[in-house]
Structure 1
Amino acid sequence: MTAPKHKKARANGEGTIYQRQDGRWEAASYVLAADGTRKRVRVYGSTRREAADKLAEKIADSNRGLPVATADSTLGDYLTYWLNGVAVHGLRENTHTRYATCIRLHLMPGLGTKKIARLTAKDVRTFLDRLRITCQCCAQGLDTERKACCAIGECCQKQLSPSTVMYVHSVLKSALEHAVREDELPRNVARNVKTAAPRPRRFRPLTSAEARQFLDAARADRLHPLYELALRTGLRKGELLGLQWEDLDLISGTASIRRSLQRTRTGGLTHLPTKTRASERRIALPTECIHSLKEHKQHQDMERKTAESAWQDSGLVFTTPTGRPLDPANLTRRFRSFLDWAGLRRIRFHDLRHSTATLLLEQGVDLVVIKELLGHAHIGVTAGVYAHVRLRLQRQAIDTLGSALSPTEDNPGDLPAAAVVR
């Protein structure tokens, strides 16, 4: 009688694998945790091979010195691991900076000491409710530095806006969702907490009369082609500043939007990919913009000759008089001064983009065309942002129909003929 075959024992450091009572396979081993210590990590799979492969990946990361999230990690440790080891590879630098600020100022103080495996929906809901009513001046210690607010017994009640609270909630959901995908958590408890959507920011785009006044005044400004392009095409500020001459075809009258110029903390003025994949697009240039861009090219050539050796050839369409890229913050300040000089009310530069879409909608342009021009990822974004305009247009359409259906003095009995509606 032959002896039964025994499975080969796993080598030291490879961890253990066994089948659970529910049929799933569980693998466990000690790895480098986010807090610098070695802790036991568990992974699961529907087959032995799947569990073994997941564990091998964790051990390999640990052996390379990369911290691995474990079920008994605190939320603070896991957020640090997720932000610097996972999210950093998929976020633009400015977005990563906003995530880091959100975690440092709000999530760490509020939930950082909680064990990630013991975090409940009630914990998240209580945290968000408290965040809504907490004076941030006091919570961040600004009152002590300024010797004001709670430090002198007069709280200023500087609370977070509803959109910021929703943003904090969104960052937490993203981090926990990754923990679920890596089988660190059975479910994302933050998704079970519902937050009321904040009211959309109200903006007052330029009316058609104000838009004409804007374009007339802009002709006297050095950045006239930029302002005109912004209003007539709805390009974002970063897309305008990142536009290069090689992106323009002034013969066929098109522009290829490939990049955005933004200031980042580490790289300064940096060319980045467009906001989304849909933002990378090709648009038709209005005839007026083609003429002004041709004149701008000639003016820039004169500035190049005047600057001589001081000229820095960046290939950009819109630059300083010495060829350097225009700083987005400087453009914002210059735009405000221009509005004051032109006698126009103060609006944000981004409101030029809203003005483009609003004026197009009011002229009856199809929503799909506007979505493609603006580079929105989904038509729902376009429809949602400009819902108030569509409602006004519906009212106008209904009133127009009402006038057509109302009997007139000349033909009080004039009724519309029957028609087949398909």
Structure 2
Amino acid sequence: MSRRANGEGSVYETKQGRWVGATYADTNTGGRKRVVVYGRTRAEARKKLGDLQKEFDAGVRVSVENWTVQAYLEHWLDTVVKPNRAPKTYQGYELVVRLHLGPLIGNKKLRALTVRDVRLMCQHLAAKGMQRRGVQFAHAVLRAGLQNAMRDELLTRNVAKLVQIPAPEYVVGHGLNPDEAKKLLEAAKSERLHALYVVALYLGLRRGELLGLQWQHVDLEAESLQVVQSLQRVGGQLQLKAPKTRKSRRTVPLPSPVVEALKAHKLAQGKERLAAGPDWHDSDMVFASKVGTPMEPDNLRRSWYRVRTVLPEPLPRFHDLRHTCVTLLLTEGVAPHIVQEIVGHSAIDVTMTIYAHTSLDEKRKALQLLGERLA
């Protein structure tokens, strides 16, 4: 027999009759490590060894750690996600890994994870009653983790990318028509947060953006405000965090009703400051508690539940005020890309696909115009 080339590996039979393929490969820390595969026959062991060597030739490095899926995902969360992503994102990813991915595929060896394993995991989650959006999110977390393993040169392919997940069905909220919006604003006049509802309806700010707004970012003379942060509950504490996407960070001009509402709100807040005296906390929040601290979302929820009772069933969610702003702007003929800039959508298809539904009356009006044009 000719002498084996360096790195070609060897195949031999153990005393127990099991065939072994062995070779040396570069590790992810720069060293060398002996790697073995097993087979019931010489041909099976040689094939596995050949497949392994193809991966090494493609640039895969052997991990010094013998990673399971669970161990690697935890490593990825701690070293990549936590330092580089928003705390809310880390919490969501960690929850998925701990509650769903770990129990189902966590004990699998990272390099041995197959497309079938991922497909069965998704089917199991759906069979347990998880909504389609939840299955998609769990799959997305796994896909992101495995993609990082490829960047770490531990895998040559991302098996999660080969599993197709049905797209979730987005439920468009119950937006308000102009008469309902006016009725809501009238009912909100008795609330100390009246200005918040005005800003929400006119500008479409998210709840966290509203509660994270500070006076330093509001210019009532220039009639504009900057959205630069959001108030979020992270680890049981309220924290100001940067917007999730680049598009969320924006400057928005203020129409006259918003300017008037904010001026009245600032005056009322000054009276609250005087009443609180030394108990006042100067957080500079526009929509603060009665002692100046950042507002608890539950306090806003209680106010919202009172205000929305003037509207017909089904009662809208607070987020539907944002949806209302988008829909009314589009109905008025505002260009979609301008609406996107106002409300801070990450992409134009979010504006058009998820939010911009039309009513039967609007469809009838559009077809009537077409009929008049063609008549």
User: 1:233 is matched with which residue?
Assistant: 203
User: 1:80 is matched with which residue?
Assistant: 74
User: 1:277: Cα distance to partner?
Assistant: 1.4
User: 1:196 is matched with which residue?
Assistant: 166
Residues 14-52 of structure 1, C-alpha deviation per residue, up to 9 Å, x if partnerless?
A: xxxx8889xxx9622779xxxxxx998x99798xxxx8x
CA distance in 2, matches of 1:44, 1:96: 32
Change (3 A) 1:241 1:270: same
Q: Check conservation: 2:191, 2:303, Cα contact below 8 A.
A: no
SS class of match (1:317): coil
Q: Check conservation: 1:253, 1:290, Cα contact below 8 A.
A: yes
Q: Check conservation: 1:277, 1:377, Cα contact below 8 A.
A: yes
User: 1:374 is matched with which residue?
Assistant: 343
Q: Check conservation: 2:28, 2:152, Cα contact below 8 A.
A: no
CA distance in 2, matches of 1:170, 1:234: 28
Given the alignment of the two structures, is residue 405 of structure 1 paired with residue 368 of structure 2, yes or no? no
Q: 1:6-405 maps to which residues of 2 (within 5 A)?
A: 27-28=26-27, 72-134=66-128, 159-265=129-235, 268-340=237-309, 342-345=310-313, 346-389=315-358, 396-405=365-374
- Structure 1 counterpart of 2:175, which letter? P
User: 1:416 is matched with which residue?
Assistant: none
User: 2:46 is matched with which residue?
Assistant: none
CA distance in 1, matches of 2:364, 2:115: 43
Please give the root-mean-square deviation of Cα atoms over the aligned residues, in Å: 2.8
Change (3 A) 1:387 1:256: closer
Change (3 A) 1:388 1:354: same
Residues 72-104 of structure 1, C-alpha deviation per residue, up to 9 Å, x if partnerless?
A: 411111111111121112221122111111111
Q: Check conservation: 1:72, 1:117, Cα contact below 8 A.
A: no
CA distance in 1, matches of 2:270, 2:198: 20
Change (3 A) 1:288 1:39: farther
Q: Check conservation: 2:196, 2:210, Cα contact below 8 A.
A: yes
CA distance in 1, matches of 2:56, 2:87: 33
SS class of match (1:283): strand
Change (3 A) 1:161 1:305: same
CA distance in 1, matches of 2:56, 2:274: 67
Change (3 A) 1:286 1:26: farther
CA distance in 1, matches of 2:332, 2:28: 65
Change (3 A) 1:112 1:303: same
User: 1:185: Cα distance to partner?
Assistant: 0.4
SS class of match (1:298): helix
Q: Check conservation: 1:264, 1:270, Cα contact below 8 A.
A: yes
Structure 2 length normalisation: TM-score? 0.82
- Structure 2 counterpart of 1:98, which letter? G
CA distance in 1, matches of 2:254, 2:63: 51
Change (3 A) 1:356 1:398: same
Change (3 A) 1:272 1:29: closer
Q: Check conservation: 1:20, 1:26, Cα contact below 8 A.
A: no
User: 1:292: Cα distance to partner?
Assistant: 1.2
User: 1:105: Cα distance to partner?
Assistant: 0.9
Structure 1 length normalisation: TM-score? 0.73
CA distance in 1, matches of 2:282, 2:28: 56
Residue identity over aligned pairs, in percent, reads: 37
Q: Check conservation: 1:71, 1:116, Cα contact below 8 A.
A: no
CA distance in 1, matches of 2:283, 2:292: 6
Q: Check conservation: 1:230, 1:352, Cα contact below 8 A.
A: yes
Change (3 A) 1:20 1:260: farther
Give unmatched runs, 5+ long, in structure 1. 1-17, 32-37, 56-67, 135-158, 407-422
Give unmatched runs, 5+ long, in structure 2. 1-5, 10-23, 36-51
Change (3 A) 1:29 1:316: closer
